[in-house]
Amino acid sequence: MSGSTTLGPVHQAYLLQARQMQALSFMVHIPLVAFGIAFPVMVLFAEWLHMRTGDPLYRVLAKRWSKVMVALFAVGVITGTILSFEMGLLWPNFTATFGSVFGLGFAIEGFSFFVEAIFIGIYVYGWDRLSPRAHFASGIPVVIAGFTGSLMVVAVNAWMNHPSGFRLVGGHAVDVHPLSALFANTYLWHELVHMYIAAYIVTGFLVAGAYAVGRMRGRWGRYERTALLIPLSIAALASPVQILVGDWAARDVATTQPIKLAALEGLGQTQSGAPVHILGWYTDDQVKYGIPIPKALSLLAFHDPNATVKGLDSVPASRRPPVNVVRVAFQTMVGIGTAIALLGVWFLVVRVRRRRLPESAWFYRAVALAGPLSVVAMIAGWVTTEVGRQPWVVYGVMLTSQAVTGAHGIPVAYGTLALIYAGVAIGVAWVLRRLARAPLDLPPADRTVAASAGD
């Protein structure tokens, strides 16, 4: 299968460091991207409330959020730039061989970024300088571009996981059909929907979490209640839905990438009526110390309790991903996903039955925790997808070891990037604290009152 490639073979002693550098770059970019996708919607909703009700509180809210939005957008832009550089810095042979197949996705994405950057500029610097209607309208392209941008990147990733639209002849891609490679790919749709919802969960819980922490410290008035309600409602609705979509994703993986599914579940041998194991550790071709649920895997993956599921033994050891990395990541995602879905349902039930916000302090502690946890779930999900695809960079076509650069000094680059990213993280944390502390510009009636008198 994996024959020659466009630039020919190289020896790279630091493949592992290159992979880690790629992983680090993604882990920094992806949470920011979540904000790029979901936050504009929340900001615009607050502004729409202001237009509809004439209530200045919503305007204050939208304006304050938009400052956070633009700061995070700036960091999203630069971390994304690093990723695009890494396509050549780390994986030149991947780009040289397949750029003509998948590159179109990024080229179109470039225009999304243009639209997003232009209108975020107009929106954020246009408060007080545009008519209310024009200002609101200038935010809409930001929302659309956030969607199309992630559509394009995810299309590329889906192609890497389920490649089509070309033939490889003597290491060169021929018969290339970029449109069908990117968009006629069945693998795209679950990834897109799952990622998009993840963005809403992450943004919703992180923003709500900030106000939940504020409530514990006694900052709780009409402003804070509104600022909590909007993101929390979104996250609470999205998190149960995510379980259904995740189940869909797993069924797609089962049919297109059986080895990844086997790694997710630690299934050593091909068998019918395969079980699911909760927790445990994969050694000696099986899961030890886990809680087995007989036939569950066959049922979940193929809707038939006796279906045959391929095991890791169906490919040679050199073609298997690192099982425990993938499996622990997957279980982490599913565990967190289940927990935050329960939290969401708690909120929905109280809200629908009692027509108010939950009052238990435990609820707010859980919301504060749900933000960071959902970031962990999202990263764990990408680890599942990407490490689960290893050793392939293009599934079944090109090995990651064939894609890598022949340049020296990867560990130095990796160390430098890690250092710089630590600095970026400190800078972002610092500016967010500063923005949160800026005094609220509200009429006295809406100012903070003590938590007990709040509701």
Partner 1 sequence: MHFYDLPLVFAGIGLVLYTVLAGADFGAGFWQLFPGRGKPGERIREHAHHAMAPVWEANHVWLIFVITVIWTAYPIVFASVASTLTVPFLIAALGIVLRGTAYATRSGSASSRETAAIDTVLAASSILAPFALGTMVGAIASRRVPVGNAAGALWASWTSPTSILIGVLAVATSAYLAAVYLAADARRLEQADLAAAFRRRALAAGVCAGAVAVAGIAVVHGDAHPLYERLLHTDAIAGLMLSVLAGGATLVLVGRSRFEAARVTAALAVAAMIAGWAIAQNPILLPGLTIAAAAAPHDTLVCVVVAIVAGGVILFPSLGLLFRLVLIGQLDHASPQTLAPRTPRAVLSASRAGLLARLAGASFLIGLGCLTIADARWAHLIGVFGLLGFGIAGFFALVADELGPAG
Residues at the site binding ligand HDD, with contacts judged by CB under 6 A: 161, 191, 194-195, 198, 201-202, 242-243, 246-247, 249-250, 253, 333-334, 336-338, 374, 377-378, 381-382, 384-385, 388
Tell me if 22 sits within 8 A of 400, measured CB to CB. Answer: no
Residue 205 CA to residue 199 CA, distance in Å, equals: 10
CA atoms within 13 A on the CB side of 303: 5
Q: Please report how close the Cβ of residue 277 comes to ligand HDD at its closest, in angstroms.
A: 15
**Which residue bears the tokens 């889906």?**
158
Q: Does 83 bind ligand HEM (CB under 6 A)?
A: yes
Give the x-and-dash track for 275-314 against partner 1 (CB under 8 A).
Answer: ----------------------------x-----------
| Beta carbons of 259 and 93 less than 8 angstroms apart | no
For residue 19, the Cα-to-chain-centroid distance in whole angstroms is: 18
Here's the x/- map for partner 1, 383-402, by CB under 8 A: it reads as --------------------
Q: Which residue in the set 92, 163, 321, 371 belongs to the binding site for partner 1 (CB under 8 A)? A: 92
**Buried/exposed 115-146: b ≥16 CB within 10 Å, e otherwise:** bbeebbebbbebeeeeeeeebbebbebbbebb
Q: Which one of 23, 24, 121, 411 is in contact with partner 1 (CB under 8 A)? A: 121
Cβ neighbours around 9 below 10 Å, total:
12
CB 379 within 8 A of CB 27: yes
- The verdict on 19 binding ligand HEM (CB under 6 A) reads yes
Backbone angles phi, psi at 130, to 5 degrees: -125, 160
Tokens of 131: 């008519």
Identified binder of partner 1 from the candidate list 37, 221, 405, 451, rule CB under 8 A: 405
Q: What one-letter code names the amino acid at 274?
A: A
Instruction: Pick out residues in 250-279 that bind ligand HEM (CB under 6 A).
Output: none
**Assigned token pair, 25:** 């770059």
Residue 377 C-beta: closest distance to ligand HDD, Å: 4
Is residue 194 within 8 Å of residue 245, measured between CB atoms? yes
Residue 452 beta carbon to partner 1: minimum distance, rounded to whole angstroms = 19
Choosing from 407, 418, 440, 449, the residue that interacts with partner 1 (CB under 8 A) is 407
At 357, which helix (H) or strand (E)?
none
Q: Is 428 exposed, middle or buried (0-12, 13-18, 19+ CB in 10 A)?
A: middle
Residue 198 interacts, among ligand HEM, ligand HDD, partner 1, none and using kind-specific CB cut-offs from 5 to 8 Å, with ligand HDD
Q: Which is nearer to ligand HDD, 83 or 431 (CB)?
A: 83
Residue 33 token pair: 């991207």
Pick one of partner 1, ligand HEM, ligand HDD, none as the site partner of residue 427 (Cβ within 5 to 8 A by kind): partner 1
> Looking only at residues 9 through 68 of this chain, which bind partner 1 when binding is defined by CB under 8 A?
10, 49-59, 67
Which residues contact ligand HEM (rule: CB under 6 A)? Answer: 19-20, 22-23, 26, 29-30, 32-33, 36-37, 73, 76-77, 80-81, 83-84, 87, 91, 94, 113, 116-117, 146, 149-150, 153-154, 156-157, 195, 382-383, 386-387, 390, 393, 400, 403
